[in-house]
Amino acid sequence: MIKFIIRRILLTPITLLAVFTIVFIVLRVAPGDPAAVVLGGFASEQSLKAVRSSMGLDKPLYIQYFESLGNLVKGDLGRSLINNAPIAGQIKRVLPFTLDLVVAGTFVSLIIGIPLGVLSAVKRNQWVDYVGRSASLAGLSTPSFLLGILAIWALSLKLPVFPTLGGGESGNLTSRIYHLALPSIALGLIQAAFVSRMTRSSLLNVLQEDYIRTARAKGLDQRMVIFKHALGSCMIPIITLVGLYVGILIADSVLIEVVFNRPGLGKLMVGSVKNRDYIMVQSIMTIYAMMVVIINLVTDITYGFVDPRVKYQ
């Protein structure tokens, strides 16, 4: 396993370099001028040239690329083109809010999706199964931002249980959890639909195995058969789905942060794209890529703990 982890870690710089290069090229060829954003649409051409020079945008594209890449390798994320503030400090301030949202959304999806999938499999073709499958289908068909808006309308406006906007006070754990509850539910319910369907499908296949029939023939309790013998054998596809979908959750968190006006990487990136802040967008996308790489690595390592038959080559 150690060799596998080291090999995956060594591949990480290649992945990050590819992401950085693609983002750099896309942002530079996209229309728009950061200097015009800073000075406004009525600025003179001389003023625009002066601002572009101060931002380093007058240099050839390849020089901008290697300068940005060299700073990134040294751990220097640079300064924002718009407010000249250090990017690392801005990301450090909002990153915990995004991590909170992704972790809480994943937790919500597991505590709802797995029990619902198990119940649907055990009660196959009964009314419980039909309700569970219909609910999961509705979750698959609902965009995260729409679910967030509906959650605000139902649980913040009509029934004022949760706050409508914000991320809570940074140093107040209770406040952060209180403001996190509704966004995490809106984000996690969609993933719960995927987890529920995967759990049901995997469990139905496992329940047909000979060792499950043997366990039942020995008179073992139904709950022990399901949760100890059957569910453990079908965790690999569930973990795979969760690991893959966490990357989608990270992308969906951008919309959720905008809908709930939460501080986070997503909201920071939306503002940076709008203002054509190339350096900020590059840094945020690199952080996103790093998060996805780490999640995939953790997912692969988890296989060995869940199923000892998994061998790392």
Say whether 86 sits in a helix, a strand or coil: strand
Could you tell me the sign of the dihedral formed by the alpha carbons of 111, 115, 120, 126, in that order?
negative
pLDDT tens-place string over residues 164-174: 777 777 777 78
CB 60 within 8 A of CB 66: no
- Residue 180 has what pLDDT? 86
Whether 33 has a pLDDT exceeding 70, the answer reads: no
C-alpha closest to that of 292 among 12, 6, 24:
12
Distance from C-alpha of 179 to C-alpha of 164, rounded to nearest angstrom? 8
CB 305 within 8 A of CB 13: no
- Residue 32 has what pLDDT? 67
pLDDT tens-place string over residues 64-99: 888 888 888 887 777 787 777 888 888 888 888 888
- Residue 312 has what pLDDT? 56
| 155-159, 186-190, 301-305: least confident range | 301-305
**Mean pLDDT for the stretch of residues 101-126:** 87
| 255 or 52, which is more confident | 255
The phi and psi torsions of 74 (rounded to 5 degrees) equal: -80, 0
Q: Determine whether domain 99-306 maps to CATH 1.10.3720.10.
A: yes
Whether 37 has a pLDDT exceeding 70, the answer reads: no
- Residue 310 has what pLDDT? 59
Question: Would you kindly state where each structural domain of the chain is located, as residue ranges?
Answer: 99-306
Residue with tokens 């139902």: 154
- Residue 313 has what pLDDT? 55
| 73-87, 115-129, 217-231: least confident range | 217-231
Whether 229 has a pLDDT exceeding 60, the answer reads: yes
Whether 4 has a pLDDT exceeding 70, the answer reads: no
- Residue 165 has what pLDDT? 76
Distance from C-alpha of 27 to C-alpha of 34, rounded to nearest angstrom? 11
Mention every residue, 6+ apart, whose C-beta is less than 8 A from residue 156: 162, 163, 164, 182
| 227 or 283, which is more confident | 283
pLDDT tens-place string over residues 133-150: 888 888 778 887 888 888
